[in-house]
Amino acid sequence: RTRQATTAEADLAPSAFTAGARLEGARRASEWVREVAALTQPDRIVWCDGSAAEKQELLDLLVEAGTLLPLDPERRPGSYLARSAPSDVARVESRTFICSKDEADAGPTNNWRKPGAMRAELREVFAGSMRGRTMYVVPFSMGPVGGPISQVGIEVTDSPYVVVSMGVMTRVGREVMDLIDAGAPFVPAVHSVGAPLAPGQDDVAWPCNDTKYVVHFPESREIWSYGSGYGGNALLGKKCFALRIASAMARDEGWLAEHMLVIRVTSPEGRRYHLAAAFPSACGKTNLAMLRPTLPGWTVETIGDDIAWLRQGPDGTLRAINPEAGFFGVAPGTGVDTNPNAVATFDRDTIFTNVALTDDGDVWWEGLTPEPPTHLVDWQGQDWTPADGADGRKAAHPNSRFTVAASQCPTIADTWDDPAGVPIDAIVFGGRRASNVPLVAQAYGWEHGVFMGATISSEQTAAAEGTVGELRRDPFAMLPFCGINMADHWAHWLRVGAALDAAKRPEIFQVNWFRKGPDGSFLWPGFGENARVVAWIVDQVDRARGAGPSASSATTGSAATATATPVGRVPAPGALDVGGLDLPDGALDALLDVPVASWRAEADLTQEFFDRFGDRVPAALRAELDALRERLG
Ligand code: GTP
Ligand code: SPV
Ligand code: MN
């Protein structure tokens, strides 16, 4: 690159202090670290090796600083409670930016800023931002180190809480640095809590800044995050890299980066299937990933609970890895009755953030047990009694989380860290919909399935700032996580599907665990009972592939297992195994109902939604909308 770059090139080029992925040679990582240090001016720099000793040192430091409170080692060995600043509890979508060179490449669903302008702004914001602090350099791998689907990155951060969390959520260590030294391209990711300390100034337990930035440069594959210590804003391997940057890489390289859990399902006769499922934040991925089936003879094993990278394998199947190494799961609603596997997973060596503290040094949140303890310290450090709960004051923040190694999960599959991934048989899209969307529907084909994914809407949850309960479109459950124009993401899905051999192409489904009856209560019991839907799904996969029904199918022989509706195939009467379920009268019909008038209105909204993307919407999806309208009559 010459010194006389054009304006456009200058916008694209990693600036003086960001070198990262674009530079060649073994020295580039240390050069880049030096440049970031020159800008942010930390007191010292520590290169992390991901060792157990290093982790313990950081944990001790965090306890001393008051960031972490050790829990009772008898009840919860090796575990800690963190209480964040009350303002730093969720992802900040309004402060998340995609700085592609061309605004159209970010698309209408992202906040776009001109790369050059954003770089100038970041230079100001990060100048001296690490003063008085230690800058940690964390080399990490997304996916098994050196695997064919894996990628590496380096996060520099001034937060030891982030370092420890990255050590749980990703693979950190020497081997990663060795790969980078050997020339592997890495994603450079800079994080600062944005709270420099003057000489002699006391630190606070949770340093952060009211001004936040979560910035992505998809072309140069860089991440800059400022002002927050919270998960998705600060653990940059997760949403920033594994979804936003990776969606740009995936588009360029022919693979898929998705907000999906992955499970292995084994039927009573030992047939094996892999499912990947995309639900928006706080809509049930971790729960489905750890499902304990109520149907006898079925097993579900966990491969991933939040993110999947998928790529056509040498055998022609679509193979998925979980790029993460841990779970950053929603605490509220997670209890022995709903998710016993999660409860067993976090029985030790877990960091809990923004949950309540019991008098005997353990944790509690709404839904962990049916009845709360008689006294707690709430997530903000205030006394809490059940009377406060009755007044609607939550003991735990609705987006409180546990951070724990995947290997601690009792149902983790022995293939969960296979570098080659697992072959996906079914792809499932879901959301939180009180009405309209049936419990389960099978797409009429890949293009219709992509249409289903593209048009998902869901009621907003506490996982991000915003109004909980508001219905919004969340295509592919990627609305906050797509680093490219969302319509290009759909086009990419169509291309990837077309390249797969029809016999090996996954079947696509849509599910909704959250449909409500007229009294406002959920019609479907959910959780372990979702195994009934999973059983129907894999039976449909078998039939689509001509493998014939399994003996455990609720409907054997030639009896119809599915009924065609305008929105897809739903279980035929008797095809969904609901034996032993205590469903209210008419609940099953209500769960599978496809109200035509509401769906016509929904189709109009889909057209409006598509129109936001103009001519970038693939013609095949416009055709799917026409076909839906035709089926609706
Ligand atoms: P993120 O980590 O934010 O991406 O969330 P997630 O998609 O992994 O959601 P998670 O499984 O943590 O579930 C979020 C909330 O939904 C929890 O309070 C669960 O108890 C609740 N939930 C999960 N599955 C079901 C279900 O089948 N039925 C009902 N009614 N609630 C569910
Ligand atoms: C989500 O919000 O989808 C999460 C938590 O999984 S975060 O890591 O904050 O994105
Ligand atoms: Mn998530």
- Interface predicted TM-score (ipTM): 0.99
Mutate to test the pocket of ligand 2, among 84, 89, 91 (most ligand atoms within 8 A of CB): 91
Nearest to 96 by CA among 481, 400, 399: 481
Query: Which amino acid type is present at position 39?
Result: L
331 by DSSP, 3-state: which?
A: coil
- Distance between Cα 462 and ligand 1 center (Å): 11
Q: Is the C-beta atom of 531 inside 6 A of ligand 1?
A: no
Query: Which amino acid type is present at position 145?
Result: V
Whether residue 182 has pLDDT greater than 80? yes
Residue nearest to atom 29 of ligand 1 (CA): 526
- Distance between Cα 554 and ligand 2 center (Å): 36
Nearest to 325 by CA among 306, 311, 346, 339: 306
Whether residue 20 has pLDDT greater than 50? no
Mean pLDDT of 8-25: 40
Q: Is the C-beta atom of 330 inside 6 A of ligand 1?
A: yes
Q: What pLDDT is attached to residue 11?
A: 39
Mean pLDDT of the chain: 94
Q: Is the C-beta atom of 324 inside 6 A of ligand 1?
A: no
Contact 319, 312 (CB under 8 A): yes
Mean pLDDT of 428-444: 97
Q: Is the C-beta atom of 285 inside 6 A of ligand 2?
A: no
Whether residue 8 has pLDDT greater than 50? no
Q: What is the per-residue pLDDT across 533-585, written as a single tens digit (0 to 9) for each?
A: 999 999 999 999 988 777 788 877 778 999 999 999 999 999 999 999 999 99
Least confident segment among 7-11, 136-140, 605-609, 616-620: 7-11
Distance CA 146, CA 137 (A): 20
Distance CA 378, CA 439 (A): 36
Nearest to 303 by CA among 253, 268, 267, 266: 266
At how many degrees (to 10) do helices 619-632 and 446-454 cross?
A: 90
Whether residue 5 has pLDDT greater than 50? no
Q: In the 3-class helix/strand/coil scheme, how is 279-318 assigned residue by residue? A: CCCCCCHHHHHCCCCCCCCCEEEEEECCCEEEEECCCCCE
pLDDT-based confidence at residue 21 (cuts at 50, 70, 90): very low
Contact 240, 214 (CB under 8 A): yes
Known binding residue 457? Answer is: no
Mean pLDDT of 410-415: 98
DSSP string of 553-584? -SS-TTS--EEEETTEEEEPTTTS--TT--PP
Q: What pLDDT is attached to residue 7?
A: 33
Mean pLDDT of 129-149: 98
- Distance between Cα 463 and ligand 2 center (Å): 6
Known binding residue 432? Answer is: yes
Q: What pLDDT is attached to residue 27?
A: 63
Q: What pLDDT is attached to residue 61?
A: 98
- Distance between Cα 257 and ligand 2 center (Å): 15
Query: What is the number of the ligand 2 atom nearest to the C-alpha of 90?
Result: 9
Nearest to 156 by CA among 191, 187, 124, 123: 191
pLDDT-based confidence at residue 463 (cuts at 50, 70, 90): confident
Q: Is the C-beta atom of 287 inside 6 A of ligand 1?
A: yes
Known binding residue 267? Answer is: no
Where on the phi/psi map is residue 400: left (φ > 0), alpha (ψ -120 to 50), or beta? Answer: beta
Residue nearest to atom 10 of ligand 1 (CA): 284
Q: What pLDDT is attached to residue 549?
A: 75
DSSP string of 459-520? E--TTBSS-TT-EEE-GGG-TTT-SS-HHHHHHHHHHHHHHS-GGGSPEEEEE-TT-B-TTS
Whether residue 6 has pLDDT greater than 70? no
* Choice between 330 and 19, residue whose per-residue pLDDT is larger: 330
- Distance between Cα 329 and ligand 1 center (Å): 9
Mean pLDDT of 409-414: 98
What are the two backbone dihedrals, phi and then psi, of residue 223, each rounded to the nearest 5 degrees?
A: -130, 135
- Distance between Cα 259 and ligand 3 center (Å): 6
pTM over 0.80: yes
Mutate to test the pocket of ligand 1, among 239, 286, 305 (most ligand atoms within 8 A of CB): 286
**Residues whose Cβ atom is located within 5 A of ion ligand 3:** 281, 306
Which ligand lies nearest to the CA atom of residue 235 in the structure?
2
Query: What is the number of the ligand 2 atom nearest to the C-alpha of 306?
Result: 6
Task: Give how far Cα 14 sits from Cα of 18, 26, 41, 327, Å.
Answer: 5, 18, 20, 32
Q: Is the C-beta atom of 119 inside 6 A of ligand 2?
A: no
Known binding residue 287? Answer is: yes
Q: Is the C-beta atom of 496 inside 6 A of ligand 1?
A: no
Known binding residue 110? Answer is: no
Contact 464, 540 (CB under 8 A): no
Mean pLDDT of 65-84: 98
Q: Is the C-beta atom of 236 inside 6 A of ligand 2?
A: no
Mean pLDDT of 389-405: 98
Nearest to 257 by CA among 473, 429, 501, 478: 478
- List, by residue number, the catalytic residues: 283
Mean pLDDT of 286-300: 98
Residue nearest to atom 8 of ligand 2 (CA): 232
Known binding residue 140? Answer is: no
Mean pLDDT of 449-465: 94
- Distance between Cα 283 and ligand 1 center (Å): 4
Query: 502: Cβ–Cβ under 8 A, 6 or more apart, which residues?
Result: none
Q: What is the per-residue pLDDT across 294-341, written as a single tens digit (0 to 9) for each?
A: 999 999 999 999 999 999 999 999 999 999 999 999 999 999 999 999
Q: What is the per-residue pLDDT across 226-269, written as a single tens digit (0 to 9) for each?
A: 999 999 999 999 999 999 999 999 999 999 999 999 999 999 99
Which ligand lies nearest to the CA atom of residue 529 in the structure?
1
Mean pLDDT of 129-151: 97
Least confident segment among 62-71, 177-186, 462-471, 476-485: 462-471
Strands 326-330 and 351-353, by their bridges, are unpaired
Distance CA 231, CA 93 (A): 13
Q: Is the C-beta atom of 335 inside 6 A of ligand 1?
A: no
* Residue listed under structure tokens 């409170």: 69
DSSP string of 396-421? S-TT-EEEEEGGG-TTB-TTTT-TT-
Whether residue 343 has pLDDT greater than 70? yes
What are the two backbone dihedrals, phi and then psi, of residue 71, each rounded to the nearest 5 degrees?
A: -85, 170
Task: Give how far Cα 22 sits from Cα of 35, 115, 302, Å.
Answer: 15, 16, 36
* Choice between 466 and 166, residue whose per-residue pLDDT is larger: 166
Q: Is the C-beta atom of 331 inside 6 A of ligand 2?
A: no
- Give the dihedral sign, CA 306/63/156/224: positive
